[in-house]
Amino acid sequence: MPAAVSPESPVRGAGTSRTTLTHCPYCSLQCGMKVTAGARPATLLPADFPTNKGGLCCKGWSSTELLDHPERLLRPLVRAVDGDRTSPLVEATWDDALGRLVDAIERTQARYGRDAVGCFGGGSLTNEQAYQFGKFARVALRTSAIDYNGRFCMSSAAGAANRAFGLDRGMPFPLSDIAGADAVVLVGSNPADTMPPAMQYFDEGRTRGAQHVVVDPRRTNTAKNAELHLQPLPGTDLALANGLLHIAIAEGLVDEEYVAARTTGFDDVKAGVAAYWPDRVERLTGVPVEYQRRTVFALARAEKAIVLTARGAEQHRSGTDTAQAWINLALALGLPGRPGSGWGTVTGQGNGQGGREHGQKADQLPGYRSLRDPAARSHVAAVWGVDPDDLPMPGKSAFELLDALGTDGGVRTLLVLASNVAVSAPDARRVISRLADLDFLAVSDFFLSETAELADVVLPSAMWAEEDGTMTNLEGRVIRRRRALDPPAGVPDDLQLLATLADRLGRGQHFSGDPETVFEELRRASAGGAADYSGISYHRIDDEQGVFWPCPSATHPGTPRLFTERFPTPDGRARFLRVEHVDAHEPTDADFPYVLTTGRVLAQYQSGTQTRRTRSLQMVAPTPRAELHPDLARRLGIAPDDVVELTTRRGRARFHAQVTDAIRPDVVFAPFHWGGGSSANALTDADALDPTSKMPAFKVCAVAVARVDGPAELIAPPATAGLPQPTAHQQPTAPEPRTPSRKRSTRVKSSPRFLQGVFPIAGEGLAKPGPIDPALKYTVPQGASAQALYFRGGNSTGELVYVLLVRDGEPMRWFPIGAKGDVHVPLRVVEDLPGGTVVELHAAAPEGVSGEIVIDLGLVEV
């Protein structure tokens, strides 16, 4: 039904106090809570909901503080001078604000085409809002340009799960299964700080004697409680997973029956991980061989075992492959689909799961359907009452969309809902400059976020306790967010806003502002899709404390545990995929000698738009604190609470120093909840996106550290002069100048060099060695010298083979490798190799013998 000319918020009127069962507005745990409201302010108590069982963290307890915050937006804001973003934002009527936005949309599309108007959403929108935003883009705007901030969160795990299992549901089992598992390996996640109520399941398991292993470069509060803490260098989790699978194969721990019956592709993965022997993995990751073995045996010997990955492992340019490597390990041990066992990923944002299922992503239609699939297009178009040929094809992913703002072929008018990309996007100063290139920017939010401050029009929105809708939590449980109190007069929610905008654009007949009406349409649109909600209703959710998808009919019980009988792939089998470790896109060097990684802290959330305004949380975490190891702090003359400046090739940011031995000496940690002069994402690298998920490398880049001041209550921002300029729209052909080094060192600069891999061999006789592969040839640079440190080799054939180390064409040393054997030879007494020396590896095998050899020659270049 068409919406009103201006969005209205239904008002129940002042009445007696009422208590409503609803859910926390923050993380994907979606804790149950009881909100009591009548006269404002509202109060709350935790509810005994299955995920939190009566628990709440400090963020949940403080969530009602913001409903009546003095900085809350209550009226639309527009620029005092239309089109001039240097003029102040002033209050306006809804008619004026929406009129400016609609005029900009129509003007932009008339001049540049439909795709010049874009939409950017968020993982905190309800399912109904996310669904309607995707539909709004494709039906009201008919643009392909839509994506959302979940691309920066869950996309790598989603990509890996889809290709391995045929389905992406973050945790394919209930959260309660963690309590019953005998072994849990948690990779790159810190639920003790990010979702504390979930720790009761981990605590229950440990009380029963379960073995918990945490993989994290920091000794987090989660790691402190674990039996074993593996502390790898950021960006090496894939190598670690491959190494653990290597051990499992070598020790005969693979579940051969499961692999044969329920999977495909294992042989190729087995060949690939042959090159990841334990001491090589220790060298790559820093994780001792003993810890690798203990981890594998804990998983393999447990009756019930779970592997969980999260953003620490996934926010990399190889994040999808990293998640795949851990899936490969879980499959080899027969975990997915086994009762109480499996692989899963810990979803971050409140509706990070549902937000990526129903059309907010650039390539998706509701029900997790592909926008490229003609059958999917026809089904959804029929539900929407439009011609499938009118639906656009997939557009650009989140960062690609943002990076092309204001360009020919890029978006020129942008509508942002529930996202603060000026803080949360990688290389944030670059994104801010792209936002400035827009012809028009509109933002819907309930506070003047850093992104809203840049807008032409800012539209106030109802908050979590003032709206109805559904969310999908980290387990795939669809729950109800119930309206506990009325929003301020004249403040709509985003569902009503989209219906109103569609009506003003002449497409209002396709949209509704009523959440249950929209959910009923979502059910029809998702029917038959991977994320099938067609059997879920508001009534069922109320009666059953949520319903797990897929749920294809009203009589279907829902699916708490996936993959118990088959995987949703064409042949019903899960897929192993061979993946290889790749080095970080941005290696450390003399100018930027340390590794920066980013993440969350307990008392803040996401871009901090809400939590930085919460008085009680500000008392817990008032300023951003960068974690430095005592050895690093001592070397740089940094004391606790000093102001330090972190510098990367993209910018500088300042933090208070937190000196702690809980972090590796070569790693610096910075929280990403702040903007401005303390923006961690002003430092992060966006120039190498994951090829599958389009995830930027949030978790690793090269950084320099310097002390700039002693303890100070307020952190002064870095001087604007001298800051690196954001990357231009056209990538430069020559490297950009680097920021001068803030660190001087008398250390000799050295670089490791490795000739390594798995290669085929075909014997022509032991007396006839020949080159193995061009990759096994190395020339020492002029002006440098090198030294060979070790040789390690493996032989898959049933005969003795030889590997020959050749220097400038002359044999230097032979390495015999026995049948089905391996060899490890230290070479520390070998003489220096001066610049210009050519080192090459040849091999020889008996005539007619064929197979594979594994090669690893380690050198150091000085």
pLDDT at 811: 83
Q: How far apart are CA 249 and CA 599, in angstroms?
A: 34
In this predicted structure, the answer to whether residue 12 has a pLDDT above a threshold of 50 is: no
Residue 737 has pLDDT above 70, yes or no: no
Residue 830 has a pLDDT of 45
Q: Give the whole-angstrom CA distance, residue 332 versus residue 266.
A: 8
> Average pLDDT for residues 375-399, to the nearest whole number?
96
Band of residue 124 on the pLDDT scale cut at 50, 70, 90: very high
685 has pLDDT over 60: yes
User: pLDDT at position 735, please?
Assistant: 36
Q: Give percent above pLDDT 70 in the chain.
A: 95
Q: What is the pLDDT of residues 720-731, one digit of tens each?
A: 867 878 888 764
- CA-CA distance, 678 to 140, in Å (whole number)? 39
Residue 726: strand, helix, or coil: coil
**Average of per-residue pLDDT across 831-849:** 87
pLDDT bracket for residue 680 (50, 70, 90): very high
Measured CA to CA, the distance from residue 452 to residue 415 in angstroms comes to 11
Confidence of residue 364 (pLDDT cuts 50, 70, 90): very high
pLDDT tens profile 153-203: 889 999 999 999 999 999 999 999 999 999 999 999 999 999 999 999 999
pLDDT of residue 3 exceeding 80: no
Judged against a pLDDT cut of 90, whether residue 786 lies above it is answered with no
Kindly list the distances between the CA atom of residue 469 and the CA atoms of 243, 444, 472, in Å, as whole numbers in the listed order: 45, 18, 10
CA angle 458, 461, 462 (to 5 degrees): 165
Helix (H, G, I), strand (E, B), or coil: what is residue 409? coil
Average pLDDT over residues 246-273: 97
Asked whether residue 282 carries a pLDDT value surpassing 90, the answer given is yes
pLDDT of residue 7: 58
* Burial class of residue 227, CB neighbours in 10 A (0-12, 13-18, 19+): middle
Question: How large a percentage of the chain has pLDDT more than 90?
Answer: 78
821 band by pLDDT with thresholds 50, 70 and 90: confident
Give the sheet arrangement for strand 43-46, strand by strand: 18-23, 32-37, 43-46
Q: How far apart are CA 668 and CA 646, in angstroms?
A: 9
Mean pLDDT of 493-507: 98
**Residue 750: pLDDT band with limits 50, 70, 90:** low
Q: To the nearest whole number, what is the mean pLDDT of the chain?
A: 92
How confident is the model over 32-52, as a mean pLDDT?
Answer: 92
**Kind plus residue range of the DSSP H or E element containing 33:** strand 32-37
Q: Say what the pLDDT of residue 504 is.
A: 98
pLDDT at position 13 over 60? no
Q: If you ran DSSP here, which 8-state letter would residue 697 be given?
A: B
Residue pointed to by tokens 């059953």? 544
Residue 368's closest CA among 379, 357, 360? 357
This prediction has a pTM of: 0.84
Is the pLDDT score of 302 beyond 90? yes
How confident is the model over 679-699, as a mean pLDDT?
Answer: 94
What is the pLDDT averaged over residues 591-601?
Answer: 95
Contact partners, residue 633, CB within 8 Å, separation at least 6: 639, 657, 659
Q: What is the mean pLDDT of residues 545-554?
A: 97
pLDDT at 749: 55
